Amino acid sequence: MNVYEAIFNRQSIGKMKSDPVAREVIERLLAAGVQAPNHYKVRPWRFIVLTGAGRERIGQAMAESFRKKFPEAPEEALHKEAAKPLRAPVVIAVGVEKPTEPKVLEIENICAAAAACQNILLAAEGEGLAAIWRTGDAARDPLVKSFLGLEQDQDLIGFLYIGYAEILPELKIRPGFEDRTVWLD
Ligand X SMILES: Cc1cc2nc3c(=O)[nH]c(=O)nc-3n(C[C@H](O)[C@H](O)[C@H](O)COP(=O)(O)O)c2cc1C
Find the angle CA(143)-CA(109)-CA(27) to the nearest 5 degrees. Answer: 75
Tell me: does residue 95 bind ligand X (CB under 6 A): no
Cα 57 from Cα 156, distance rounded (Å):
17
Q: In terms of Cα–Cα distance, which of 176, 110, 138 is closest to 50?
A: 138
Contact positions with ligand X (CB under 6 A) in 166-185: none
Across 109-139, b (16+ Cβ under 10 Å) vs e yields bebbbbbbbebbbbbbbbbebbbbbbeeebb
Contact positions with ligand X (CB under 6 A) in 27-46: none
Residue in 85, 89, 158, 163 binding ligand X, rule: CB under 6 A = 158
Cα 108 from Cα 111, distance rounded (Å):
5
Tell me: does residue 11 bind ligand X (CB under 6 A): yes
Give the shortest CB-93-to-ligand X separation in angstroms: 13
Question: For residues 73 and 110, which CB has a smaller minimum distance to ligand X in the complex?
Answer: 110
Question: For residues 18 and 135, which CB has a smaller minimum distance to ligand X in the complex?
Answer: 135
Cα 49 from Cα 91, distance rounded (Å):
6
Per-residue mark of binding to ligand X, 105-144 (x: CB under 6 A)? ---------------------------xxxxx--------
User: What are the residues binding ligand X (CB under 6 A)?
Assistant: 11-12, 132-136, 158
